[in-house]
Amino acid sequence: MILMQYKHTLKQEISLSGIGIHSGKNVTLKLKPSDSGEIFFIRTDLENLKFLIDPRKVITLNSSVLTSGDKKIQTIEHLMAALYMSGIDSLTIELDVGEVPIMDGSSLPFVKAIGTAGIKSLDKEKRAIRIEKPFMVEDGNGSISVKPYIGLKISYSIYYDHPLIGEQKCSIKADEKIFAREIAPARTFGFLKDVPALKEKNLAQGGSLENALVLDSKGLINGPLRFPDEFVRHKILDLIGDIALLGSPIFAHFLAKRAGHKLHLKAIRFIQKHKDYWTFA
């Protein structure tokens, strides 16, 4: 038996402020309850320009970037992961700058704010995408296999030639409670040696020891870690944020190896394009 699922929004508006890790700009984020049945972003600094969530409108530039024409909203993935795992699929997200604030580099501040505001059910039916046939996407170094599964499971492995990371593997059944406890607190990370090149590309302008784990050649500059394998857990968080771009819950097992936003998007676009690989549950 399949229980009827309904769409959800917030009970109350949430307002959060912080810095954009890439733009370096201060931003106010407002999450407003909506009964539209979909999530979209609005940039109040651009005459309320609307951004629809669609994997075809997302580009990857050290984060997942939502576009509308030549306008952008950077770093949407940690917020999108928190909304997806909270079951929120009807919301208006207002920003006064083209980037979601990085907060502490994780999804935890968003998860906590959603918990405080509360969630309410709408009289709109929601349907999940159920993967029926396995497929795989690859690039030079990495791969993502997607297989049928009841629920959402993610198995991720990463390898960095660094004494603190090396190979890390993590596999979780992604339900709301496990996500809040095991994945949402995992922070983004970066290497000190990459900072000059990033800044040259106008990225990481707002990066600091308060919003990212920063590694030098030997170890972590700003410990302690929240989990010994916080790095791979953050990659799972990023993948969930990219899965959220589908706009529907998904039943599948994602097995990602040495992947990143670019490959996540390749897998998500494959699902969007190949409707013969899935049915609505």
Q: Which residues bind Zn ion (CB under 5 A)?
A: 188, 238
Residue type, 234: H
In 3D space, the residue among 240, 251, 264, 273 whose CA is nearest the CA of residue 86 turns out to be 240
Between 33 and 241, CB nearer to Zn ion: 241
Give min distance, CB of 184 to Zn ion, in A: 12
Match 């991720």 to its residue by tokens. 156
Angstrom distance (rounded) from CA 223 to CA 215: 10
Angstrom distance (rounded) from CA 190 to CA 185: 16
Between 8 and 187, CB nearer to Zn ion: 187
Burial class of residue 281 (count of CB atoms within 10 Å of its CB; 0-12, 13-18, 19+):
middle
Give min distance, CB of 153 to Zn ion, in A: 20
Angstrom distance (rounded) from CA 92 to CA 95: 10
Between 90 and 188, CB nearer to Zn ion: 188
Angstrom distance (rounded) from CA 222 to CA 22: 19
Give min distance, CB of 5 to Zn ion, in A: 28
Contact indicator for 144, 256 with CB cutoff of 8 Å: yes
Give min distance, CB of 61 to Zn ion, in A: 13
- Of 8, 22, 234, 261, the catalytic one is 261
Between 33 and 207, CB nearer to Zn ion: 207
Q: What region does 207 belong to: left with phi over 0, alpha with psi -120 to 50, or beta? A: beta
Is 264 known to be catalytic? no
Residues with active-site annotation: 261
